[in-house]
Amino acid sequence: MSKNRVGLLSVLVTFVLSITMSGCIDLEVEEEYYGSDNYFNGTWSGSGSQGSEQSWSIVVDLDRNTISYPSIPCEGYLTPLASYSTRIDFRETITSGVCVNNGKVVLEQDSDNKMTFNWFYQNGTHSAFGYLRKQ
């Protein structure tokens, strides 16, 4: 390996380690909520609505990181963005159907078997609210 490649590799490793150590990148997001005894594990279902519009069904499987809206219909997957003690933020990627893609889904613990569902556009505008119950 040439001196230039070794130097570049060294700079890259140092950069990644410094970002990770500074907390700019949270590499622990998945570990924080995938534990076997964690509140968020499993399948959750319920309904959501946008303002005064008719409600629609929601199914979230946090063991597989999938989301579906059977009554619309559309479905996709969830990518963890941030994790807190009672809340997880996800990027939603729609893989089939007519739903808006790349929204932000926020799931927050409400009670033992119930959580709130909030959906935001990419620009941060809140668009939908709902409740989910553990199945």
Helical residues (DSSP H) of 1-135, grouped into ranges: 3-22, 29-34
Dihedral angle, C-alpha 95, 77, 122, 115, nearest 10 °: 140
- Print pLDDT tens along the chain (135 aa): 555 443 444 433 343 333 333 344 444 444 555 444 578 899 999 999 998 778 999 999 999 999 999 999 999 999 999 998 899 999 999 999 999 999 999 999 998 889 999 999 999 999 999 999 999
Task: Please provide residue 123's backbone torsions phi and psi, each rounded to the nearest 5 degrees.
Answer: -80, 0
Give pTM, 2 decimals. Answer: 0.73
Distance CA 120, CA 108 (A): 14
Structural domains of the chain sorted by starting position, each given as residue range(s) with its CATH number in brackets:
1-26 (no CATH), 35-134 (2.40.128)
